[in-house]
Amino acid sequence: MTAIELAVPRRMARPPGRALTTLRRGLFGSWLNGLVTLATVALLAVIVPPLLRWLVIDATWSGSAADCRAGDGACWAFIAAKIRFILLAFYPAELQWRPVLACVLMLGLLAATALPRFWRRELAIAWPAVIAACWLLMAGLPGLIAPVSSNQWGGLPVTLIIWAVCFASALPLAVLLALARRSNMAGLRLLSVAYIELMRGIPMVAILYFAMLILPMALPAGQSMDKILRAIIMIALFWAAYIAEVVRGGLQAVPEGQREAAATLGLGYWRIMQLVVLPQALRVVIPGLVNQAIGFLLATSLLAVIGIFDLLNAAKASAADPSWLGFYDEAYLVVAAIYFAFGYGGSRYSLWLERRLHRERRD
Amino acid sequence: MAVHSSPRGWRALVATTLIAASSLTSGAAFAGPTLDKIKERGVIKVGVGTTPGFFAPDSNGKWQGFFIDYGRALAITVFGDPEKAQFTSSSPQQRLPALQSGEFDVLLSGVTVTISRALKLGFHFGPTIFYDGQAILARKETGVKTAAELDGSTIGVQSGTTGELNIADFFRKSGHKFTPVTIEDTSEFIAALEAGRVDAITQDSSDLVGKLTQLKKPDDYILLPERLSKEPLAPAIAGGDDRWLELVNWTVNVTIQAEEWGITSKNVDEFLKSDDPAIKRFLGVDPSLAETIGLDPKWAYTIIKTVGNYGEIFDRHLKPLGWERGYNNLWTKGGLLYSPPFR
């Protein structure tokens, strides 16, 4: 029904029993393929056995730092002792159910958002509600729930909350920016272009320093704003520029005829956008948005430069404890696994969604 | 308002602004804006780093270390409660601007006292609590025994620290050449050295001693004998609050004076029975001194009881990492620690 066609790799029907032939052709089809295959096998033979020995066979699974130093392998005892700190950092231990619950809520919201069957109006209400609930869980409420200063937040909940809140608040702003950039009003267009280009021309670290150092001076005297809140505001403004460009791509993919047809029906600008253009445009850019979201998740590790204990920073600090000194490899490995789970999950999800939306469109 | 329309109105506006501004600044110097803010907030915001022994979180997420104990001591001085210090880690590039912007009330992150930081940037420094010096840790396989033999080598330096300038000065003076490799993160140093990306690394010896214990083969490396610099590490605060500065000064002095008198966290209660009038004043048995200076008579007692004297703090956090007292000993024992009298 529409001219938007996505290049989706479709599974080819393959007669059974040919799999082995295909495999052989793929691996040794030509002399070049054969060479690459052999080189890869050789490389794996060099890398994998020592890695396995370090990861599993020689690893120390329990005990103290001294036991670990006596062995040659990885020190998983260190992770056992530090996993709480890596995931939750300085959050008071007796209240740790709160950040855990916040994480669960946030992951639940992300999972619900990922499934097209939940794409209803309620989701737009659920987002601010869950974010508010998470904030309440983390910060507490004076008098009712024991307050915990944001100075003590850290680890996975901080990474997740900053990421989700920034992305969620950047998206509406980005849509407005993208619309403004394609607007007929020259002044609005210029403003939008200037904003997007300015933000994209600044590195994220500079944005974070701005949030940390310049923003407090810009506030009226005597007023202070929470550091994490400051970071969230600046990052959301920053990410909006990137997302706006993705959304603009989607707007361009919607044929002009759609808008004209809607206009002939007598719809105004906002109704056209809301009912006709944006639903199609956003659908097209979902893979692009997921891609951006993964990139942004990894970028949250830059929060370390302004002293926020995100997941990576907490892992790094965990290896500075004199009684567990220097097990950086293990700490980084655990964090890498967590980031990978999110990144890989996101990319598989994006593929699945593309395929599904494509099927829907053809039906 | 018509103020802006006439030249006279302009002048009035400028005059009012100037008066307002001057009264603001003079008021600030007198009333002690930092201390007021601290008391209103109920916690002291302390900027720290992450160096083993000096400041690092333990497995329960509680900060521990040599400088951390001084943060707790400060909280006792102001609030009588060691838990009223809020520690936040910051990178070397960020900590001084953050102190200036009011993000921190005090930096206990191992800041070196220098004249430009004091006079150009306007920071104030408390007493030196750790006498450090920049040193070089080299790979033994390069065959060097002294820093002079490092001609033409590659040396890792941390960006944004005085160390970066010191090593450049040192090589310029000796006429040798070196290639600096700037590494932002402290923990990356070891990786760079072990991987052979650099022949040597240079940092304050405090950092290098902590690193030696982390190296997989500590025997493959040599700490060169030269000290490239004097690095007196002291608490730093923003200018404009004399009372706050003095509280920082005398909190440090309490730990030094206590060690000089042999008062420790364990025996401090026995010293309450001491006949020495100076000790009586010091511990608040005789409250006359505390009353005149406007502090709780028990503040010094509580500091010693809670975090201990200088020697105890040192032995608790730095001795296990292989530190010797060296310069960081009492003046009576050949060191540089000296507290002015409590009277």
> ipTM score here?
0.74
Q: Which of A86, A150, A321 should we substitute to test contact with B (largest number of B Cβ atoms within 10 Å)? A: A321
Contacts of A154 in chain B (CB under 8 A): 61
Residue among B45, B56, B91 whose CB faces A321 most closely: B56
Chain mean pLDDT for chain A: 87
A320 and B56: CB-CB below 8 Å?
yes
Looking at the complex, report in whole angstroms how far the Cα of residue B214 sits from the nearest Cα belonging to chain A. Answer: 5
In total, the C-beta contacts within 8 angstroms joining chain A to chain B are 99
Q: State chain B's maximal CA–CA distance in angstroms.
A: 80
- Interatomic CA distance for residues A11 and A246, integer angstroms: 28
Residue B110, chain A, CB below 8 Å: the answer is: no
What is the b/e burial string over A198-224, where b = at least 16 CB atoms within 10 angstroms of the residue's CB? ebeeeebeebbbbbbbebbeeeeeeee
Amino acid at B200: A
Q: By three-state DSSP, how is residue B204 classified?
A: strand
Q: State chain A's maximal CA–CA distance in angstroms.
A: 79
Where does the pLDDT of residue A233 fall: very low under 50, low under 70, confident under 90, or very high at 90 and above? Answer: very high
CATH class of B34-131+232-333: alpha beta
What is the b/e burial string over B297-332, where b = at least 16 CB atoms within 10 angstroms of the residue's CB? bbbbbbbbbbbbbbbbbbebbbeebebebebbbbee
Choose among A210, A126, A206: nearest CA to A164.
Answer: A126
CATH fold of the domain at B134-229? D-Maltodextrin-Binding Protein; domain 2 (3.40.190)
Looking at the complex, report in whole angstroms how far the Cα of residue A333 sits from the nearest Cα belonging to chain B. Answer: 15
- Interatomic CA distance for residues A233 and A237, integer angstroms: 6
Q: Identify the pLDDT of residue A130.
A: 93
State pTM to two decimals.
Answer: 0.78
Q: Which domains does chain A have, with CATH numbers?
A: 90-362 (1.10.3720.10)
Q: By three-state DSSP, how is residue B110 classified?
A: strand
B53 and A324: CB-CB below 8 Å?
no
Share of chain A above pLDDT 90, in %: 40
**A-contacting residues of B 25-84, CB under 8 Å?**
43, 45, 47, 50-53, 56-64
pLDDT higher than 50, residue A306? yes
Q: Identify the pLDDT of residue B197.
A: 87
Contacts of A152 in chain B (CB under 8 A): 61
Average of pLDDT values for A115-124?
86
Looking at the complex, report in whole angstroms how far the Cα of residue A320 sits from the nearest Cα belonging to chain B. Answer: 5
pLDDT higher than 50, residue A48? yes
Q: Which residues of chain B, if any, have pLDDT below 50?
A: 1-31
DSSP 8-class letter at A87: H
Q: For chain B, give every residue range classified as CATH 3.40.190.10.
A: 34-131+232-333, 134-229
Contacts of A82 in chain B (CB under 8 A): 59
